[in-house]
Amino acid sequence: MKVYVIGIGLIGGSMALDIKSLQPEATIFGIDADESHLAQAIALGVVEAAATFEDLGDADFVIVSVPVDVALIILPKVLDSIGEQTVVFEVGSTKMPICEAVVNHAKRRNFIATHPIAGTEFSGPSAAITGLFQGKTNIICEVEKTTFKLQEKALDLFKQMGMRIRYMDPKSHDKHIAYVSHLSHISAFMLGKTVIQKEKHEQDIFDMAGSGFESTVRLAKSSPAMWTPIFKQNRKQVVKTLEEYISNLTHFKDLLVNEDYDAIFEEMESVNRIKEILNGMISQIPNKESIRK
């Protein structure tokens, strides 16, 4: 089996490691615009050799795991280059623009639009880890537009990686993911900014930070190159979630200004049921020890 990973970072690299571990006879090739990334991925054993788009004709799988703006540009070119039996999938955090970009492509039926809900705050080939997708959800959009046999081939791979599959239309995906992923990232980035602004004048403040701050701000370590195009492509939904979040924060602040402590208690108590909601999720905190430095 020949697998080509285009963009060998956290997601593409972790998929490469899983596939090699599940199917040792597979050969994993890497394609990356950043030659130092590619060299690092080969040196780390994440992929075996470098390749180019010209090699894609005999690919079994092509995994497109690049920033979502780059995906819009290269995915049609990838589909131009593949063979009849090649499955191409893309793993970005927005699904409407990518589905629109290939809707009329002659090889649309070789493509499957996915969003594996998995990751860490790290990026680049060194962030790749084995088992990242175990127990995670993979959202597949417009599955009916993919040839049935190639659907099966892709689903078999995802299931081997331990993912459970959920089908959704691209519009619903982009709307909901704004709440449970994109908003969390902005919340963390702006929390980090607020505290760093303060720290300019008070160097010692971070000595006082505990595990609570570390957890809440964790996503502020994420890659701007990855996240700027996500926010761009999902701009309307993200703006809406931000408006709702800012409104809720302003309401809480007003309760505090007005010293309405009963209402403050009730606000927090009503959100406490997030416990049960999160308990319903499969535990998805990555194992720190398994993250390669």
Rounded Cα distance, 99 and 197, in Å: 40
Number of residues that bind its own copies (CB under 8 A): 97
**Nearer Cβ to its own copies (40/234):** 234
Supply the minimum distance, in Å, between the C-beta of residue 99 and its own copies: 17
Among 35, 144, 208, 289, binds its own copies (CB under 8 A): 208
**277: Cβ contacts below 8 Å, ≥ 6 apart:** none
Is there binding between residue 203 and its own copies (CB under 8 A)? no
In angstroms, give the least distance from the CB of 162 to its own copies.
Answer: 14
CA 263/CA 155 separation, integer angstroms? 48
The verdict on 290 binding its own copies (CB under 8 A) reads no
In the complex with its own copies, the residue whose CB is nearer, 53 or 245, is: 245
Q: How many residues does the chain have?
A: 293
Among 39, 143, 165, 195, binds its own copies (CB under 8 A): 195
**How many angstroms separate the most distant Cα atoms in the chain?**
68
Query: What three-state secondary structure class fits 209?
Result: coil
Provide the minimum distance between the beta carbon of 83 and its own copies in the complex, in angstroms, as a whole number: 33
C-alpha distances out from residue 275 to 10, 69, 181, 256, 279, Å? 28, 35, 18, 24, 6
DSSP 8-state code for residue 290: G
Dihedral sign computed on CA atoms, order 175, 149, 68, 27: positive
When the beta carbons of 152 and 266 are compared against its own copies, the nearer one is 266
Q: How far is the CB of 237 from its own copies (least distance, A)?
A: 11
Return the residues of window 58-117 that contact its own copies according to CB under 8 A: 117
Burial class, 70, CB count within 10 angstroms (exposed 0-12 / middle 13-18 / buried 19+): middle
224 touches its own copies (CB under 8 A): yes
Q: Binding to its own copies (CB under 8 A): which residues in 126-165?
A: 136-137, 139
Report the distance separating Cα 166 and Cα 238, nearest Å.
22
Q: Does 252 contact its own copies by CB under 8 A?
A: yes
Q: How far is the CB of 243 from its own copies (least distance, A)?
A: 7
CB of 169 to its own copies, least distance (A): 13
CB-nearer residue toward its own copies: 147 or 216 = 216
Q: For residue 92, how many other CB atoms are within 10 A of its CB?
A: 26
